[in-house]
């Protein structure tokens, strides 16, 4: 039965997709009658004196996607055979519903075009008004080219740019698939050989990089693979897409891992070594805003034609590749009875709706102080109930809301710290573990030995400008370690001043850093105690009267140290999303004992406690350090969730509410004019949420008015169900 259902589906697909598989075998001639048939209108739509339509091809494509989705559910076992069969049995109803849905969507798009036209006429320049008036399709028959010009005339520039970019991306991806196929054909033809006559696959050269840190990905730069065919001793070089590479794994430290390259069931191998991972830091985050785009890009086909013109007579191979790939793309579109205009218009229509709804949402009046307070009290009550009714602790309840600055116990003062960890190396930790397993030393002796080993740790310094995911834009890069290097002697780059973004020389700046700070370099690293001294020398000793700017400067310096030297991988997410860092409370026991004690001394410690943990400075921006089983932690106080001097609201049951003006300490997140809440604050989140809710309500009311009132009274839709009866008939006869 399952096979029968699959046959039915395939017949349906062949019937309704309008992709004529036999067109190529018939000399490329496509039946004009067939094309006219699929371009028949199944629904005519009119709104605000503008016309739109749904054609048979668009409807059939929608049904195909609908049926195929259910077939996928059935084949994967999500629905039963009977459920899937029911979909097929009711296909005529599905056609009717799909046709109505497409028509109503077209009507809503016309509504959005009309709204944008009115907006331009009310707010645009004289030039913009004239352009919109000239391009208006009101009172005219539907025409695809005219509709494109109309939408272009009323779309805000940023939305027009977004539509063109989306269209260009989609078309480029389609074009690239044809270009890739063509290039492979050319490569195969140039070799003059087939996979049936392969004698052996040979490794012409192994990759330049043969030693990897644990967790690294394979770098194939320098890998050259060739094939020797029967009856010949010559080696024909492959393109990368011609062979597969398997066997590489860097999950475990190993002296030898065999990697295999395969083509036509013939193989060749090379070995790589996996070593322990060195600390890897992400790129330093920036606060740069994306530059607003003001120039509308050329459409894909226009840009492609320019490329073809430039290659004509100067690069015959490129000219042929571009023209042939273009021909195949356009042939495929013709076989589907589509044009460039069709796909471009679909992106424009999407953006029309987006732009219109955005303008409607901007009518929100803003959020009043009363609204903010009401929402705040609502959230407080929700948390209070979570604290009083659930078995979880107050910290679980606070964490569960996604906002850590709403409710705390009266005595459970919450504060935030940032952490710089100089982690003990694996080889030294192994010595400690071996000593511990002997069970011959007491706790004090074990701790003393661990601290002794930690003091021997070597530190690497990462380059905060290094971007491991960067792409080298130089097609013939001078860096010998770059994938784009075209020279004769590839291998590790020896140029210390190499400018390539991917050069391994850029990953660490340990040697230069040691020279700059006057530190000793041993085996490529800096001793941890020397590094600890450099950190303390760099940071400022803040008094109780230090300004907010001085405290922010210490935090920014510390953040840079974290990105250069930190081995606490879990900390990076808190640095990049604008949060204050680790959240601690006075009675928190979820962290390592020494870490918690040092952090508490920073936030609320007396003189004795501060001295014990080497604390320098007072308040936000102060810092200290401690030893733990992980290594040396340098800790900086970055903020308070509850300002001890702030007026709080008593909620009863031993709970107090935190001020809604609690802010992050990072100045880069504060509003320039001070009129809006600082990003990352509770108040900011509430205002943003309420504004978003207001906009959603306005857009929802706009759509509701259209679909419940205007669609019935102001829209004229004529359905032509008989146009697609042949598709239903074809389906019925296939059962």
Q: The dihedral of CA 211, 213, 214, 217: what is its sign? A: negative
Specify the pLDDT at position 24: 37
- Residue range 518-532: mean pLDDT, rounded: 90
- Output phi, psi for 490, to 5 deg: -70, 160
- The whole-number pLDDT of residue 388 equals 55
Task: Please choose, from the candidates 421, 417, 420, the residue with its C-alpha nearest in 3D space to the C-alpha of residue 580.
Answer: 417
- Number of CB atoms found within 10 A of residue 73's CB: 15
Q: pLDDT confidence of 679, banded at 50, 70, 90?
A: low
* Residue 52 and residue 715 in contact, taking contact as beta carbons nearer than 8 Å: no
For the purposes of burial, counting CB atoms within 10 Å of the CB of 437, is it exposed (0-12), middle (13-18) or buried (19 or more)?
exposed
Q: For position 492, what pLDDT does the model report?
A: 73
Q: Which residue has the higher pLDDT, 1 or 263?
A: 263
Q: Provide the percentage of residues in the chain whose pLDDT is more than 70.
A: 78
Q: Which helix (H) or strand (E) holds 430?
A: helix 426-437
pLDDT in tens, 590-629: 778 899 899 999 988 899 999 999 999 988 889 999 999 8
On the question of pLDDT at 267 being above 60, the answer is yes
Confidence (pLDDT) at 124: 93
Report whether pLDDT(374) > 60: yes
Q: Provide the b/e sequence for 78-108 (b: ≥16 CB within 10 Å).
A: ebeeeebbebbeebbebbeebbeebbbebbb
Q: How far is CA 512 from CA 73, 447, 468, 708, in A?
A: 59, 34, 20, 70
Q: Out of 6-15, 226-235, 362-371, which region has the weakest mean confidence (pLDDT)? A: 6-15
Distance of alpha carbon 620 from alpha carbon 88, whole angstroms: 67
Question: How much is the pTM?
Answer: 0.65
pLDDT at 723 over 80: yes
pLDDT value, residue 533: 94
Indicate whether 673 pLDDT > 80. no
| pLDDT value at 576 more than 60 | no
Question: Whole-angstrom Cα distance, residue 321 to residue 339?
Answer: 21
Bridging pattern class, strands 211-213 and 266-275: parallel
Q: Residue 567 CA to chain centroid, in angstroms? A: 25
Sheet holding 244-246, edge to edge: 211-213, 266-275, 254-263, 244-246
For residue 717, the model assigns a pLDDT of 96
Please tell me the distance from the alpha carbon of residue 54 to that of residue 39, in angstroms, as a whole number. Answer: 9
> For residue 253, what pLDDT is reported?
85
The mean pLDDT value for 539-567 works out to: 86
Residue 432 has pLDDT above 70, yes or no: yes
Is the pLDDT score of 101 beyond 70? yes
Half-sphere exposure of 587 (CA within 13 A, CB side): 8
Over residues 271-299, the pLDDT tens digits come to 999 987 776 665 665 555 566 788 999 99
Query: Given this model, what pLDDT does residue 23 score?
Result: 34
More confident residue, 409 or 693: 693
- Alpha carbons within 13 angstroms on the beta-carbon side of residue 74 total 21
pLDDT score recorded for residue 389: 52
681-705: average pLDDT = 85
Residue 254: how many other CB atoms lie within 10 Å: 15
Backbone angles phi, psi at 635, to 5 degrees: -120, 135
CA distance 694 to 478: 55
Mean pLDDT of 643-667: 53
In the predicted model, what is the mean pLDDT of the chain? 80
pLDDT of residue 30 exceeding 50, the answer is no
The proportion of the chain whose per-residue pLDDT surpasses 90, expressed as a percent, equals 33
For the cut 90, the answer to whether the pLDDT of residue 355 exceeds it is yes
**Higher pLDDT among residues 309 and 677, named by residue:** 309
Phi-psi region of 28 (alpha: psi -120 to 50; beta: other; left: phi over 0): left
pLDDT category of residue 512 using cuts at 50, 70 and 90: confident
Q: What is the pLDDT of residue 243?
A: 79
Residue 405 confidence (pLDDT): 39
Instruction: Express each pLDDT in 440-499 by its tens digit.
Output: 778 888 889 889 988 988 888 888 777 766 777 787 888 887 777 877 767 777 777 787
Contacts of 507 (CB under 8 A, 6+ apart): 462, 463, 466, 468
Please give the average per-residue pLDDT across 94-120, as a whole number: 95
> In this predicted structure, what is the pLDDT of residue 224?
84
Q: Which of 174, 138, 170 is nearest to 153 (CA)?
A: 138
3-class DSSP state for residue 658? coil
Scored b (16 or more CB within 10 A) or e, 118-144 reads: ebbeeebeeeebebbeebbbeeeebee
Sheet of 224-229, strands arranged across: 198-205, 224-229, 236-237
CATH fold of 193-275, please? Immunoglobulin-like (2.60.40)
Q: What pLDDT does 555 receive?
A: 85
pLDDT over threshold 70, residue 364: yes
Is the pLDDT assigned to residue 25 strictly greater than 50?
Answer: no
DSSP string for residues in 542-595: --TT--HHHHHHHHHHHHHHHHHH---GGGHHHHHTT--SEEEETT--SS-HHH
664 and 579 in contact (C-beta within 8 Å)?
yes
Number of neighbouring beta carbons within 10 Å of residue 611:
12
- How distant is the alpha carbon of residue 344 from its chain centre? 25
CA distance 305 to 154: 27
Give the lowest-confidence range in 60-69, 489-498, 720-729.
Answer: 489-498
Q: Can you say whether the dihedral through the CA atoms of 267, 269, 274, 280 is positive or negative?
A: negative
* Contacts of 557-560 spanning 24+ positions with Cβ under 8 A: 558/418, 558/420, 558/623, 558/636, 559/418, 560/284, 560/464
- Please count the residues of the chain: 735
Lowest-pLDDT range of 183-187, 514-518, 569-573: 569-573
């Amino acid at each position: 039965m399952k096979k029968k259902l699959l046959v039915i589906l395939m017949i349906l697909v062949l019937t309704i997709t309008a992709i004529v598989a036999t067109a190529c075998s018939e000399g490329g001639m496509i039946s004009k009658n067939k094309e006219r048939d699929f371009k028949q209108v199944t629904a005519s739509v009119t709104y605000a004196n503008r016309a739109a339509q749904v054609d048979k091809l668009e409807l059939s494509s929608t049904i195909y996607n609908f049926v195929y989705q259910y077939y996928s559910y059935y084949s994967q076992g999500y629905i039963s055979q009977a459920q899937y069969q029911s979909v097929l049995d009711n296909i005529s109803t599905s056609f009717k519903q799909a046709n109505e849905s497409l028509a109503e969507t077209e009507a809503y798009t016309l509504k959005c075009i009309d709204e944008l036209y009115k907006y331009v006429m009310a707010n645009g320049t004289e030039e913009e008004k004239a352009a919109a008036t000239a391009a208006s399709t009101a009172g005219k028959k539907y025409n695809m080219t005219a509709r494109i010009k109309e939408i272009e005339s009323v779309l805000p520039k940023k939305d027009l740019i977004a539509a063109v970019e989306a269209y260009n991306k989609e078309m480029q991806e389609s074009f690239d698939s044809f270009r890739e196929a063509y290039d492979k054909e050319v490569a195969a033809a140039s070799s003059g050989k087939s996979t049936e006559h392969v004698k052996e696959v040979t490794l012409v050269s192994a990759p330049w990089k043969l030693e990897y840190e644990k967790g690294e990905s394979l770098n194939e730069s320098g890998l050259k693979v060739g094939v020797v065919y029967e009856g010949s001793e010559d080696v024909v070089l492959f393109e990368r897409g011609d062979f597969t590479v398997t066997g590489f794994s860097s999950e475990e430290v190993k002296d030898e891992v065999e990697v295999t390259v395969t083509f036509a069931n013939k193989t060749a191998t090379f070995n790589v070594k996996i070593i322990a991972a060195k600390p890897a830091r992400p790129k330093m985050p920036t606060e740069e805003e994306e530059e607003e785009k003001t120039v509308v890009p050329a459409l894909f086909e226009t840009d492609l034609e320019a490329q073809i013109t430039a290659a004509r007579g100067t690069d015959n191979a490129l000219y042929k590749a571009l023209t042939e790939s273009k021909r195949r793309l356009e042939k495929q579109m013709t076989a589907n009875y589509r044009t460039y205009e069709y796909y471009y218009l679909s992106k424009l229509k999407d953006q029309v709706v987006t732009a219109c709804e955005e303008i409607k949402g901007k009518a929100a009046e803003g959020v009043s102080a009363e609204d903010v307070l009401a929402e705040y009290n609502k959230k407080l009550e929700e948390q209070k109930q979570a604290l009083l009714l659930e078995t979880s602790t107050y910290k679980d309840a606070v964490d569960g809301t996604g906002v850590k600055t709403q409710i705390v116990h009266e005595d459970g003062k919450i504060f935030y710290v940032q952490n710089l960890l100089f982690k003990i190396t694996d080889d030294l930790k192994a010595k400690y573990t071996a000593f511990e397993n002997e069970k011959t030393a007491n706790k004090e002796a074990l701790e003393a030995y661990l601290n002794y080993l930690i003091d021997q740790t070597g530190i690497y310094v990462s380059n905060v400008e290094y971007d491991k995911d960067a792409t080298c834009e130089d097609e013939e890069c001078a860096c010998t370690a770059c994938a784009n290097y075209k020279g004769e002697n590839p291998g590790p780059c020896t140029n210390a001043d190499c400018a390539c973004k991917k050069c391994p020389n850029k990953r660490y700046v340990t040697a230069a850093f040691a020279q700059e700070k006057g530190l000793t370099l041993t085996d490529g690293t800096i001793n941890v105690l020397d590094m600890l001294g450099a950190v303390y020398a760099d940071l400022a000793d803040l008094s109780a009267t230090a300004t907010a700017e001085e405290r922010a400067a210490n935090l920014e310096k510390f953040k840079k140290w974290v990105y250069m030297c930190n081995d606490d991988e879990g900390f990076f997410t808190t640095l990049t999303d604008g949060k204050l860092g680790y959240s601690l409370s006075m009675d928190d026991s979820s962290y390592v004992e020494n870490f918690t004690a040092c952090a508490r001394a920073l936030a609320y410690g007396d003189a004795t406690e501060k001295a014990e943990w080497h604390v320098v400075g007072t308040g936000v921006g102060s810092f200290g350090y401690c030893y733990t089983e992980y290594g040396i932690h340098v800790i900086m106080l970055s903020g308070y969730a509850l300002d001890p001097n702030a007026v709080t609201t008593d909620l009863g049951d031993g709970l107090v509410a935190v001020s809604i003006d609690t802010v992050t300490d990072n100045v880069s997140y504060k509003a320039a004019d001070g009129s809006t809440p600082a990003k990352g604050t509770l108040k900011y989140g509430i205002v943003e949420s309420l504004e978003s809710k207001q906009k959603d309500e306005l857009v929802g009311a706009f759509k509701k008015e259209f679909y419940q009132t205007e669609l019935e009274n102001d829209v004229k839709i004529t359905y032509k169900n008989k146009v697609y009866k042949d598709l239903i008939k074809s389906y019925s006869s296939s059962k």
